Amino acid sequence: MTGAEALLRALEREGVEVIFGYPGGAILPVYDALTQSPIRHILVRHEQGAALAADGYARATGKVGVCMATSGPGATNLVTGIANAYMDSVPVVAITGQVPTALIGTDAFQEVDIYGITMPIVKHSFLVRRVAELPAIVHEAFRIARSGRRGPVLIDLPKDVASQVAGTCGEATEASENEALRPPPDELKRAAHLLRESQRPLAYVGGGVRWANAVQEFRAFIQTTQIPVVSTLMGLGALPARDELFLGMLGMHGLKAANFAVQSSDLLVAIGVRFDDRATGKLAEFAPHAKVIHLDADAAEVSKLRKADVPLLGDLRTSLRSLSLPLAVDAWRAECLANKAGYAWNYNAPTDGIYAPRFLKELSEAAGDETIFVCDVGQHQMWVAQHCGFSRPEQHLSSGGLGAMGYGLPAAIGAQFGHPQARVINVAGDGSMLMNVQELATVKRYGLPVKILLLDNQSLGMVRQWQEIFFAGRYSAVDLSDNPDFVRLAESFGIPAFCVEKKEEVPGAIQRLLQEPGPLLVHARIDPRANVWPLVPPGRSNSAMLEGAHR
């Protein structure tokens, strides 16, 4: 058995069914062995697309996503996708080819130290030295990627090791997955006491709930306590958007009811969150009257930014079950629900053009709970978070911590391979679309029924909005008025497309988007001056929300 064959056998034992990748010299032995493997290889058109597709696959399925590239530029092109997975705690294993071991450190052709380059953005890295190590390395890489706080792992495989024939190749020893720590009983008692004493408790939920497989326990906790809920971008869907206790996303582009609830609360039950700056605004003024119970699997996050009055480190499911207590907070709940109704969005914008928030709301309602929405990064990303309703976390895929433009299309491809029968919609902006537009070829090659809603404002909308508000309208490098004809561009890849510009065209566009059996691109022209509201200025409290027209 060669090293390449040993690698693939080990991946098969881990249940890998699909790898997203792009070949090159140093990884060729693995591609040769792939011809005899049941694992399906998906040829993307850029290595960044491979890493982001593996990310989308992992988020949609809960499994470990796998991507592969050659040495040098192939490996470095994976870096953005690896960093994206690291920031959002997504389990991905990235496999890179490397120059032969005798050439490592000699500046050989297509040699880079990908082990060193990625060290700050992976949970762990492996440089394979011997074929016999491969089964154990692969098994350990998958264990690390999916245990504790999820994240990416790198396996760097020199070409000579991949080609080397081993007389025997050991099997990976079966090690049990690390059991999640059980929160200390004394801390659970202290947390329960704070809950009972609280008059204005609020659940602040993030993506950690999804990766801890604690969604069911979280919903039971809310159903029992009946306390209101605000969510980070990554936490959307942990509680169904239709639940009356869900107040919306908090933070820089959070909804008013959510931000005001945080600022008025006397107890934050922070569950699987990082107290990220986009969520907290000015940290010193975030939830100024609230004590904090912080539930998390990662000790590094607890009290990192906001000191926890009660830290509950370990298994979120155990903590949530222990804290599921009936609470007498009727007045507080009524106040939050009154604010939710009073600050409800007005979707009747005085315009004949397409109003993005209304378009997205109507699309979300028509698409139903089984549709997976995959967002690129920009204004449209925030509109999706504000105005689309999600019933489960796997229904909303978005680049949160890294904010990587170009995420949407390759991640949608990954999600579609993870759920071949599902409807997958990529909501893109004109700026983001052109970052990885080459992956339209991947959509066409594999006959994927991915739908693309392209909201085109002929600018880098979020950057333009900030320049308008914070830089006195001095616009610099945001004009995209020379965009290509996106309909003709999609059609050149063999993908049907059409354009809409008026609000009366929206119902028909939604109907066709949802009924088209194969891939489709809907090019929606929107107002280049449209902004995302509310907006918390940087360095300000979340209560200092700016609001503009078309609210």
Residue found by looking up tokens 């006491």 in the block: 193
Give dist(CA 16, CA 13) in Å, integer: 7
The CATH number assigned to the domain holding 520 equals 3.40.50.970
Closest of 512, 530, 508 to residue 521, by C-alpha:
512
Domain containing 214: what range? 185-342
CA distance 169 to 128: 14
Let me know whether 395 and 514 are in one domain.
yes
Catalytic site positions? 47, 109-110, 159, 462
Split into its structural domains, the chain has a count of 3
- The model's pLDDT over 328-372, given as tens digits with 9 standing for 90+, comes to 999 999 999 999 999 999 999 888 999 999 999 999 999 999 999
Residues 220, 128 share a domain: no
End-to-end CA distance of the chain: 64
Instruction: Please report whether residue 49 resides in a domain.
Output: yes
Pair (382, 308) in one structural domain: no
Rounded distance, CA 125 to CA 237, Å? Answer: 32
Integer Cα distance of 332 and 327 in angstroms: 11
pLDDT of 181 reads 83
Q: Between 330-342 and 256-264, two packed helices, what is the crossing angle to 10 degrees?
A: 150
Q: Model-level pTM greater than 0.95? A: yes
Order of strands across the sheet with 229-231?
Answer: 246-249, 229-231, 201-205, 267-271, 291-296, 310-313
Positions of the chain with pLDDT lower than 70, given as ranges: 167-180, 549-551
Burial 490-521 (b: 16+ CB within 10 A, else e): beebebebbbbeeeeebeebbeebbeeeebbb
Q: Report how far residue 227's alpha carbon sits from residue 208's, in angstroms, rounded to the nearest whole number.
A: 19
Do 323 and 369 lie in one domain? The reply is no
The answer on 364 and 313 residing in a single domain is: no
Q: Does 368 lie in the same domain as 324?
A: no
For 124, the enclosing helix (H) or strand (E) is strand 124-127
Instruction: Examine residue 39 and state whether it is found in any structural domain, yes or no.
Output: yes
What is the per-residue pLDDT across 196-243, written as a single tens digit (0 to 9) for each?
A: 999 999 999 999 999 999 999 999 999 999 999 999 999 999 999 999
Give the whole-angstrom CA distance, residue 178 versus residue 41. Answer: 30
Instruction: Give yes or no: residues 508 and 374 share one domain.
Output: yes
Domain membership of residue 141 (yes or no) is yes
